A = this chain, B = another copy of it.
Amino acid sequence: MKLIARSFDTDSSEPRVVAHYDDCRELGIKQMDRVRLDAKTSQVAVVSTSDAVKKGEILMPPQVMSDIGAEEGQTVDVVYSPKPDSVKSIRKKMDSQKLTKDEINEIVVDIRENKLSKIEISAWLTALYINGMDIEEMANFTQSMVNTGDKIIFDRTPVFDFHSLGGVPGNKITPVVVSIVAAAGLMIPKTSSRAISSACGTSDIVEVFCDVKLDASEFKRISETVGGVLAWGGSMNLAPVDDMVIDIEYPLGINPRAKMLASILSKKLAISATHLLVDIPMGTGTKVRTLEEAREYARDLMEIGSKLGMRTECAITYGDQPVGNAIGPALEARECIRILEGNTHPASVIEKACDLAGMILEMGGIPDGPTKAREILASGQALKKFREIVEAQKGKKDITSEDIHTGKFVHDVKAVRSGYVHSINNKDLVTIARAAGAPSDKGAGILLFRKKGQRAEKGDVLFQIYADNRAKADRARDIAIKLGPMDIEGMLIKKVRDPSAPKDT
């Protein structure tokens, strides 16, 4: 059928075209069927039927219009296109069957080329969440995710990399780890993400003091000359299918294990990593609750890594409360730089950063890694390397922690009684920090004055809320008071007594 092309962009994540009911009926297609659009080149798109479109016209996103080489108002040829085979493979996974390498690849390619609708991708992720994948399937999945994006090949090897499963707020160790490892002479071209549902991702922190949107050639050049880089992975086309399905995972609140592992490893393989360390924070509120679960993640990551020729080690770390005291882009950036400047507080950040950097050094053949990492930090070599990276990424030359500006609107949240901090609710802290504006307002976040096990007297400041504007500061404070993210109790939590004993009166 010949229809006149009209551009309209309602939803960039699904190249859906919209045609009139009667035209669709004539074409023999229903809502959510596919058509092939032919102009200079052709493309397949999912169809939405409507009576708001004029008969004889077809609405399409500007990207689709440009892809097929059609101009506004031009006639394009529209014909029915059958479901892609990948839909059958999704059904197969729904039926709990193992998928072949080709079947997995077709699904990934079809997501990449926008040939699957959100409904189909949602079914795929749900089936993955419920039925999972074995190691071989996950390795094939990872490889397909790599192959559908760009790959960065370095002139230097080996290539070291580091990743944290996340889920623990205030986990700002990456700039410290990368600075130490690069200062030791190993190349660590680190890509990071921005926060999706957390308060702050590594890229949100780094963006406070330098550019994170590097293209592939800058990324390569800085890595090879400086030895380390702190880039936002989203600015390069690395395993892009991962980013494409996040829009579907987010509303469902799921992150199927197979997809999560493939996503981590594909981003690393895409930058040609030969050695990878994965940090698995464990604790309530993180993605991994128990040691057994953490070990399973570690085993799977190492097995898949090994199948794909990437030496992978894992560190299971303490994630029951935030790492360090700061949560939010600028607050975390300042805490990081202070540590690089020689500040010995908070000790938990230094310990975690040096232990993990040490594991990477040992993978690179440097003995006594953790000790060596502490020496590099204490000697100022890590700060020097950090400043080289920042300068290479167009940040301030000789940056100091004084250059970081945190939110101007600050509220103190105080203890309403005396006692010990029995628990800190990570998720509540994230909710409060986000209410304050993090991660998009760089100055927003939380600064903790008490951690687990510490004593607070009534009226002591437990934490401060920072925000870039008053309304958000007030909103975050109200939420903080409602949630009460810190539990303060006496040492005696509950009296358990012989029920036959006389009762207190």
Binds B, one of A123-131, A275-283, A349-357: A123-131
**Tally of this chain's copies:** 2
Q: Is the CB of B251 within 8 A of A32?
A: yes
| CB of A11 within 8 Å of the partner chain | yes
- In the complex the two chains form, what is the Cα distance from A31 to B11 in whole Å? 9
Q: Is the CB of B434 within 8 A of A248?
A: no
Residues A10 and B13 in contact in the complex (CB < 8 Å), given A250-B32, A254-B91: no
- In the complex the two chains form, what is the Cα distance from A118 to B48 in whole Å? 13
Among A90, A96, A123, the most chain B Cβ lie within 10 Å of the Cβ of A123
Residues 228-256 of A, flagged 1 when their CB comes within 8 A of B and 0 if not, give: 00000000000000000001101111100
A123: B residues at CB distance < 8 A: 122-123, 125-126, 252, 254
Chain B: which residue is nearest A26 at the CB level? Answer: B440
Among A91, A94, A440, the most chain B Cβ lie within 10 Å of the Cβ of A94
| CB of A500 within 8 Å of the partner chain | no
The minimal Cβ–Cβ distance linking A371 to chain B, given in whole angstroms, is: 44
* Interface of chain A residues 15 through 59 with chain B (CB within 8 A): 16, 18, 25, 28, 30-33, 46, 48, 50-52, 59
Residues 250-286 of A, flagged 1 when their CB comes within 8 A of B and 0 if not, give: 1111100000000000000000000000000000000
Residues 412-450 of A, flagged 1 when their CB comes within 8 A of B and 0 if not, give: 000000000000000000000010000010000000000
Which of B11, B12, B50, B119 touches A122 (beta carbons < 8 Å)? B119
Which of B10, B50, B87, B247 touches A18 (beta carbons < 8 Å)? B10
Chain B: which residue is nearest A88 at the CB level? Answer: B253
| CB of A489 within 8 Å of the partner chain | no
Q: How many residues of A contact B (CB 8 A)?
A: 48
- In the complex the two chains form, what is the Cα distance from A119 to B253 in whole Å? 11
The minimal Cβ–Cβ distance linking A348 to chain B, given in whole angstroms, is: 30
- In the complex the two chains form, what is the Cα distance from A127 to B130 in whole Å? 8
| CB of A117 within 8 Å of the partner chain | yes
| CB of A313 within 8 Å of the partner chain | no
Which of B10, B30, B52, B248 touches A250 (beta carbons < 8 Å)? B30
The minimal Cβ–Cβ distance linking A463 to chain B, given in whole angstroms, is: 21
Chain B: which residue is nearest A247 at the CB level? Answer: B31
A434: B residues at CB distance < 8 A: 28
Which of B10, B25, B94 touches A254 (beta carbons < 8 Å)? B94
**12 pairs, A vs B, C-beta closer than 8 Å:** A8-B52, A10-B52, A12-B50, A33-B251, A52-B62, A94-B126, A118-B119, A120-B122, A120-B251, A123-B123, A126-B126, A130-B131
